[in-house]
Amino acid sequence: MSSLTLRSVTVRLGGRAVLDSVDLDVAERETVCVLGPSGSGKSTLLRAVAGLQEIGAGEITLGGRDLAGVPVHRRGVGLMFQDHQLFPQRDVGRNVAFGLRMRGDGRAEAERRVAELLAMVGLPDAQRRAVGSLSGGEQQRVALARALAPSPALLMLDEPLGQLDRSLRERLVVELRQLFDELGTTVLAVTHDQGEAFALADRVLVMRDGRIAQSGTPPEVWQRPASAFVARFLGFDNVVPATVTGRAATTPWGTLPVPDGTPPGPATLLVRPAGVRLDADDVARPAPDDAAEGGRGLRCQVLARTFRGDHVVLALRPERGPDLEATVPLRGAPSPGEKVTVSFDAAETVRLPPED
């Protein structure tokens, strides 16, 4: 059963459709992450659900209840703000207890729940601490505890980890995921960081200009971006216009192999960095197969080399066409300035609809 449903929700601000006829379903206990560049309308989506933003048209239901006319404070949703918005004049305990007090919980009951939540977010016994004395990560945890305290039917997170440093972010993503699984909370989060989204979500939604550009599980979206926009937004740079004929495509880089069954005609082609292969200089060329595919022997200069733990990302300047990105193993990675020859792997090549 679907917990949150949006049907044709439209929000206009200053004549511009910030949300343009958005449809969305979030199932109970599901974690959905809305991904998009800033200005794509993802925060407005959360605000519309919370009731902080009036909607111009459409319908929002939560647990089957139409939210039209329901004021913010009666919607029973939790919202963790981008910059946490902890109440500065209250200590940690009173921040977390806020929603419980609003609900009219007894003091003892509230205190018990606050202690429980603080322990859960890894800040046991922090009740008396002043909000101003907390680090960014601690503030984030308090904000989370505060949002969770009244057990909302839907928890919404706005850039939950936005301001934190990378290592903390990666650790917290995992913790959050575990926490949501344990609690069985329905979660709708927005972020501009695809890593965060993929790590956190059961399902990812990519937004563009107030519309949903793609929806799917993280592997689906990752493997088959629905458009050049999504592909680029996910961080793929090897995106070019192409014309497919049979098992090959004509691109600015030359002729590239495409998987079987790729529909012919004009298209956009994405080659994942892993699909850009370095040909060893001493490998005999041309290999007969590759020659037939026509995607062989594009000569490039290495512009930059970035270590990513277990692999290296190369920025390449090919002799023709736009720059390329390639991932190669650590061992034997070429240095900037070196000349290399690359070929393309059909398995890592995805056909996208032609760009407008």
Partner 1 sequence: MASPPPGGRPGAGPDGARPSGRSAARRALAVRLGLMAVPVAFFALFFGYPVATIVGRGLREDGRWQFGRAAEVLTSPDTLDVLWFTVWQAAASTALTLLVALPGAYALARFDFPGKRLLRAVVTVPFVLPTVVVGSAFLALVGRGGVLDEAWGLRLDTSVWAILLAHVFFNYAVVVRTVGGLWGQLDPRQEEAARVLGAGRFTAWRRITLPALVPAVAAAALMVFLFTFTSFGVIQVLGGARYATLEVEIYRQTAQFLDLPTAAVLSLLQLAAVAAMLAVHAWTVRRRESALRLVAAEHAARRPRGVGQWAFLWSQLLVVAVLLVLPLAVLVERSLSAPGGYGLAFYRALAEQADASSAFVVPPLEAVGNSLAYAAVATLIAVAVGTLAAAALTRRAGPLVRGFDALLMLPLGVSAVTVGFGFLITLDKPPLDLRSSWILVPLAQALVGVPFVVRTMLPVLRAVDERLREAAAVLGASPWRAWREVDLPMVSRAGLIAAGFAFAVSLGEFGATVFIARPDSPTLPVAVARLLGRAGEYNYGMAMALSTILMLVCAGVLLLLERVRVNRSGEF
Binding region for partner 1 (CB under 8 A) = 8, 10-12, 15, 21, 50-52, 54-58, 67-79, 81, 83, 85, 87-90, 98-99, 102-103, 132, 146-147, 149-150
Query: Residue 39 or 58: which CB sits closer to partner 1?
Result: 58
Token pair belonging to 277 = 């292969």
d(CA 261, CA 247): 8
* E strand residue ranges, the chain: 2-13, 16-27, 31-35, 57-62, 65-66, 77-80, 154-158, 187-191, 203-208, 211-216, 239-245, 248-251, 254-257, 265-271, 276-279, 298-308, 311-318, 324-329, 339-344, 349-352
Nearest to partner 1 of 53, 227 (CB atom): 53
Q: Which is nearer to partner 1, 94 or 277 (CB)?
A: 94
Shortest approach of partner 1 to residue 24 CB, angstroms? 16
CB of 74 to partner 1, least distance (A): 8
CB of 296 to partner 1, least distance (A): 53
Indicate the residue type of 297: G
Write down the least CB distance from residue 79 to partner 1, Å.
4
**Please, which residue, 90 or 285, has the CB nearer to partner 1?**
90
CA distance 64 to 66: 7
User: What single-letter DSSP state applies at residue 281?
Assistant: T
d(CA 200, CA 156): 13
Measure the CA–CA gap between 226 and 311, rounded to whole angstroms.
Answer: 27
Q: Which is nearer to partner 1, 51 or 257 (CB)?
A: 51
CA dihedral 151, 40, 58, 188 (to 10 degrees): -20
Nearer to partner 1, 74 or 308 (CB): 74
Could you tell me the smallest distance in angstroms from the CB atom of residue 191 to partner 1?
18
What whole-number distance in Å separates Cα of residue 18 and Cα of residue 13? 6
CB of 172 to partner 1, least distance (A): 20
Minimum distance from CB of 282 to partner 1 (Å)? 54
Please spell the DSSP secondary structure of 16-70, one letter per residue.
EEEEEEEEEEEETT-EEEEE--TTSSHHHHHHHHHTSS--SEEEEEETTEE-TT-
Smaller CB distance to partner 1: residue 131 or 206? Answer: 131
